[in-house]
């Protein structure tokens, strides 16, 4: 059995250390906003190559706080790719803004060519999702934002450590957001998130907003909320960040192996291989492929003991009736008929990849 994701493995990879870490923190009673959180924030900023990182409660709150700190106000329109988690768009809605959904390109990321047609006098920002561990075409997005005087934010929930022209995901615009949900590349033992920024004033606002509007002296300066990253989660993340570059290399070698074993199959469309282009360092948060007869393939693999996942319940944001979008985005819709994600995490072995690829080949030989 190869599960799509093995949550217990997160613990078992370093069990003794995690137990000691929990004991240390609990014995000190250091639960909220203590040394480990500050240390983690410093290390995270250093790792991403930006001035500031702020830990928050989760990746969705991270977007809400980042948008608000960055100056988004009710009535603003924010351009988002519909091929994303609903959280990207719902965060816009929660600050009173309107998410305006656009189609994805061939690379499954926001299509820069579709953005300009969606710009109105109320457009304030573009919020690309750096999906599956791969960064969007930032040169084009920067050019559009400059031309139309729009703010740029990034939902980098899936892309901590991914690079574009040697710059890290989350550091391109006003602010970028990260998620530490357990199944993310840097996962904690519950919910967690962070915001990256290079702007001192935005940083100050983020810190106020995540802690009831309170400044360092405890004075309330504005309406805020409680969106703090637990100290215990910060301690776990601080430890995991040390070996994170290694984890990313493991993911990249799994991606290279999938590519080598499946690339000749005309029934499939694979993500680019790790070394396919000089401009990007992809971190493979997910290994999402397009496949002919996708549903039958999923059933077949399940019978052979291989867990797979169709991202976000199989629908793009604009396809959820309850959200009231009434539009058609052909490329995104076609993608959701064909996409499926194969096991991709540090608990997957090369032997697992061999087995999975063998079964995929068998499916297309016999079906």
Residues that bind ligand PLP (CB under 6 A): 58-60, 84-85, 87-88, 129, 155, 157-158, 179, 181, 191, 193
Residue 264, class by beta-carbon neighbours within 10 Å (0-12 exposed, 13-18 middle, 19+ buried)?
Answer: exposed
- Least gap, CB of 88 to ligand PLP (angstroms): 5
Residue closer to ligand PLP (CB basis): 59 or 70:
59
- Polymer length in residues for the chain: 367
At residue 229, the 3 state secondary structure works out as coil
Residue closer to ligand PLP (CB basis): 6 or 158:
158
- Least gap, CB of 167 to ligand PLP (angstroms): 19
Residue closer to ligand PLP (CB basis): 59 or 274:
59
Kindly write down the DSSP assignment for every residue of 4-27, as one continuous string: S--HHHHHHTTHHHHHHHHHHHHH
- Least gap, CB of 293 to ligand PLP (angstroms): 27
Residue closer to ligand PLP (CB basis): 158 or 231:
158
Residue closer to ligand PLP (CB basis): 13 or 90:
90
Residue closer to ligand PLP (CB basis): 168 or 297:
168
Residue closer to ligand PLP (CB basis): 318 or 360:
318
- Least gap, CB of 364 to ligand PLP (angstroms): 29
- Least gap, CB of 132 to ligand PLP (angstroms): 9
**Contact by Cβ (8 Å): 177, 195:** yes
Determine how many CB atoms are found less than 10 A away from the CB of residue 246.
10
Q: Alpha helices of the chain — where are they, by DSSP H?
A: 7-12, 15-28, 35-48, 59-69, 86-94, 112-115, 138-148, 200-210, 231-242, 244-262, 294-303, 330-338, 350-366
Residue closer to ligand PLP (CB basis): 87 or 102:
87
Burial 11-26 (b: 16+ CB within 10 A, else e): eeeeeeebeebeeebe
Beta-strand pair 175-179/151-155:
parallel
- Least gap, CB of 313 to ligand PLP (angstroms): 13
- Least gap, CB of 108 to ligand PLP (angstroms): 12
- Helix H, strand E, coil C: the string for 306-323 is ECCECHHHHCCHHHCHHH
Q: Give the H/E segment covering residue 52.
A: strand 52-56
Identify the bridge partners of residue 281 per DSSP, sorted by sequence position. Answer: 163
Determine how many CB atoms are found less than 10 A away from the CB of residue 218.
8
Q: Which residue is nearest to ligand PLP (CB)?
A: 59
Q: At what angle do helices 350-366 and 244-262 cross, to 10 degrees?
A: 30
- Least gap, CB of 184 to ligand PLP (angstroms): 6
- Least gap, CB of 127 to ligand PLP (angstroms): 10
Residue closer to ligand PLP (CB basis): 129 or 231:
129
**Contact by Cβ (8 Å): 162, 133:** yes
């Amino acid at each position: 059995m190869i599960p799509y994701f093995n949550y217990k493995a997160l613990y078992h990879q370093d069990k003794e250390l995690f137990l000691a870490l929990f004991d240390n923190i609990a014995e000190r009673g250091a639960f909220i906003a203590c040394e480990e959180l500050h240390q983690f924030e410093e290390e995270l900023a250093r790792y991403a190559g930006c001035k500031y990182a702020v830990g928050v409660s989760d990746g969705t709150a991270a977007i809400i706080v980042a948008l608000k700190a960055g100056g988004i106000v009710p009535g603003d329109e924010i351009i988002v790719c519909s091929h994303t988690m609903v959280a990207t768009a719902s965060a816009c809605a929660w600050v009173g803004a309107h998410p305006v959904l656009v189609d994805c390109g061939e690379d499954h990321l926001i299509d820069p060519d579709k953005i300009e047609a969606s710009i109105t006098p109320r457009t304030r920002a573009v919020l690309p999702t750096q999906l599956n561990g791969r960064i969007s075409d930032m040169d084009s997005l920067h050019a559009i934002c400059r031309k139309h005087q729009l703010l740029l934010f990034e939902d980098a929930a899936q892309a901590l450590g991914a690079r574009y022209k040697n710059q890290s995901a989350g550091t391109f615009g006003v602010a970028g957001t990260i998620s530490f949900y357990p199944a993310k590349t840097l996962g904690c033992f519950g919910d967690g998130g962070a915001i990256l920024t290079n702007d001192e004033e935005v940083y100050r606002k983020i810190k106020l907003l995540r802690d009831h509007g309170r400044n360092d002296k405890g004075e309330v300066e504005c309406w805020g909320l409680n969106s703090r990253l637990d100290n215990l989660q910060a301690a776990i993340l601080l430890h995991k960040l040390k070996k994170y570059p290694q984890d990313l290399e493991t993911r990249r070698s799994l991606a290279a192996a999938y590519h080598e074993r499946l690339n000749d199959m005309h029934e499939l469309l694979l993500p680019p291989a790790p070394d396919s282009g000089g401009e990007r360092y992809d971190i493979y948060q997910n290994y999402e492929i397009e496949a002919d007869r996708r549903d039958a393939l999923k059933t077949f693999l399940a019978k052979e003991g291989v867990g797979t996942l169709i991202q976000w319940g199989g629908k793009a944001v604009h396809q959820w009736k309850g959200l009231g979008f009434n539009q058609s985005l052909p490329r995104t819709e076609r993608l959701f008929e064909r996409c499926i994600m194969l096991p991709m995490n540090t608990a997957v072995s090369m032997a697992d990849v061999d087995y999975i690829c063998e079964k995929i080949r068998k499916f297309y030989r016999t079906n």
